Amino acid sequence: MQLFDLGVRIKVNDITISYYDEGEKHKPVIIFIHGFPFNKQMWNMQVLALRDEYRVIAYDIRGHGYSDSGIADFSVELFAKDLIEFMDALSIIKATICGLSLGGYIALNAVINHQDRFASLILCDTNCIADSEETKEKRIQTIENIMEKGVPAFAEEMIKSLFHADSFTTKTNEIDKVRSMIENTSEQTLSKTLVALSMRSETCSRLNKIRIPVLIIVGEGDVITPPDAAIKMHNKIATSSLVILPLAGHVSNLENPSEFNAKMLTFLS
């Protein structure tokens, strides 16, 4: 079985994208986009929960997982362009899109610019603001730290802010999986994506253009993109509903998969 493994591959733009494609091809399509610096495996629980009723696709953003990096500098615009061309390459005219954090930045950019390609949108633990000057400086510092101390030290540091306090005792397998996803991301991808994150444009001022149904999910203990940020997006999107997930931090789909999946299934149906 391809799931949990390499996935299948398709040429898109200048790169080859690795993805899971589960469920029957004629069923409604849902595409999952992971956060930084993870890969498509972070969606395994959701792929399993949905694949009987949907065509479920989870792909690796360029440079992450098993997708090629290409030579271009990374940007959220380039990641969104990859998404649209990935859909074109698979002849997918319309899909529901679900993105977590960086995946949410990409999904928002794609929906705002190509709304006709999307049936609905699920935004998880994400935000619509651009980086502040302080956050930009922290990203540069992080790049320097990675070059100096290496990726495992970066993974250890990042994990501290990713999870709900309870998850450190109840979700040790998930933490190990996240650690391994981060450690398997190259220094080059980490640096290029940190620059892309710091350069991204805000999308808050265009949220009122969204007309498709939107589900916003955020972990109650998310300190990276906190519930306040989700509430602000919810207030700007007329068609949105909001779920604040208990016992979850920034990776809410991994920390509380049963409630996450239940909310997602209700929204989709």
Q: Which of residues 173-212 bind ligand MLT (CB under 6 A)?
A: 197
Q: Is the peptide bond before 213 cis (omega within 30 degrees of 0)?
A: no
Binding of residue 248 to ligand MLT (CB under 6 A): no
Given a contact cutoff of 8 angstroms between Cβ atoms, the answer to whether 250 and 125 are in contact is yes
Given a contact cutoff of 8 angstroms between Cβ atoms, the answer to whether 18 and 65 are in contact is yes
Q: Which SS3 state, helix, strand or coil, does residue 157 take?
A: helix
How near is the Cβ of 29 to ligand MLT at its closest, in Å? 23
Q: What does the DSSP 8-state code read for residue 63? A: T
Nearer to ligand MLT, 101 or 203 (CB): 101
What tokens were used for 105? 């930045």
Binding of residue 219 to ligand MLT (CB under 6 A): no
Q: DSSP letters of 41-62?
A: GGGHHHHHHHTTTSEEEEEPPT
Sign of CA dihedral 232, 233, 236, 237: negative
Q: Which SS3 state, helix, strand or coil, does residue 87 take?
A: helix
Binding of residue 101 to ligand MLT (CB under 6 A): yes
Whole-angstrom CA distances from 165 to 87, 122, 232 are 37, 25, 24
User: How many amino acids of this chain bind ligand MLT (CB under 6 A)?
Assistant: 6
Q: Which of residues 45-84 bind ligand MLT (CB under 6 A)?
A: none
Binding of residue 102 to ligand MLT (CB under 6 A): yes
Nearer to ligand MLT, 22 or 125 (CB): 125
| Interaction pattern, residues 6-45, with ligand MLT; x per rule: CB under 6 A | -----------------------------xx---------
How near is the Cβ of 94 to ligand MLT at its closest, in Å? 25
Beta bridge partners of 9: 18
Nearer to ligand MLT, 5 or 202 (CB): 202
Nearer to ligand MLT, 27 or 232 (CB): 232
What residues make contact with ligand MLT under the rule CB under 6 A?
35-36, 101-102, 197, 224
